[in-house]
Amino acid sequence: MKRFNLLIPILLVCSVGFAQDTLPRFTVTNAGATRNIVGWVNTYGLVKQISIQRSFDSLANFKTILSVADPNSRQNGFADTKAPNDHMFYRLFIVLGQGQFLFTASKRPEVDSFRLTKNGWIDHSKDSLNYGIKQGIPRRSDFVPSFYVYTNKDGYLFINLPDAEKKKYHIKFYEEDETLLFELKNIKEPALTLDKTNFLHSGWFKFELYNDEKLVEKNRFYLAKDF
């Protein structure tokens, strides 16, 4: 994994866990509205093509929505922001080095982060809602979860940057009082998971995501107390 130029050492979770799975398994995560994130880890020796396909049906009528630019990238993913709904079916079409090909099993998106309504933390999944209650996550009427930086169901911080290889992303993390904690520079991985111990304590934190010097998003996230 790429080493980052940081203000302090950062612990990255080597396995992206819920965020990605190892081919031919893959994950599909719903990050809000109709934003579905397809991700995987590639351990094949040589891959000629990986195409993401989408369908209303789990068995038929799949259409290719993207063929990834670098099928041999170890970690890869795609944010489908044009899905007709949040319960479409996805599968991968994979062509290996010797010409063999396969279709993965199809799957629907799973909810990865908590949803917010005008009443506070709400999720389409009872498991995720119970997780939020058990971890004592407070409600905030001024908070809308980020599409780029958010906590997954295991409580780790997940960074989703599907086009990272084409952009110049960097992220600054702050305490709630605006004290700078650390910065990730020159991010080229489309999916990263940060260990929560990097933040030293539980609670609310702020971040600023930049593409080059242009601010992409300024938001916050919550890390539950379990250490």
pLDDT per residue as tens digits for the range 34-80: 778 888 888 888 899 999 999 999 988 999 999 988 888 777 778 88
* Tokens representing residue 14 in the block: 């080597």
Residue 99 domain flag? yes
Q: What is the pLDDT of residues 126-178, one digit of tens each?
A: 444 444 444 455 666 567 778 788 886 667 788 888 788 889 999 999 999 99
Q: What is the pLDDT of residues 98-133, one digit of tens each?
A: 889 999 999 999 875 444 443 333 344 344 444 444
Cβ atoms of 66 and 91 within 8 Å: the answer is: no
CA 180/CA 200 separation, integer angstroms: 13
Give the model's pLDDT for residue 8. 44
pLDDT over threshold 60, residue 13: no
Residue 57 domain flag? yes
Cβ atoms of 103 and 113 within 8 Å: the answer is: no
Q: In this prediction, what percent of the chain has a pLDDT beyond 90? A: 33
Residue 170 domain flag? no
* Tokens representing residue 201 in the block: 């304590």
Instruction: Identify the sign of the CA torsion 189, 190, 195, 201.
Output: positive
Query: What is the amino acid identity at position 154?
Result: D
Q: What is the pLDDT of residues 189-215, one digit of tens each?
A: 887 888 888 888 889 999 999 999 899
Residue 119 domain flag? no
Asked which of 22-26, 72-76, 88-92, 191-195 is least confident by mean pLDDT, the reply is 72-76
Residue 3 domain flag? no
Please provide the DSSP assignment of 11-34 as one string. Answer: PBPSS-GGG--BTT--EEEE-STT
Residue 33 domain flag? yes
The boundaries of the domain holding residue 81 are: 18-103
Residue 30 domain flag? yes
Give the model's pLDDT for residue 155. 73
Helix (H, G, I), strand (E, B) or coil at 128: helix
CA 135/CA 123 separation, integer angstroms: 14
Please report, for the domain that includes residue 59, its CATH number: 2.60.40.10
CA 137/CA 18 separation, integer angstroms: 20
Total domains present in the chain: 1
| pTM beyond 0.75 | no
Residue 160 domain flag? no
CA 83/CA 65 separation, integer angstroms: 10
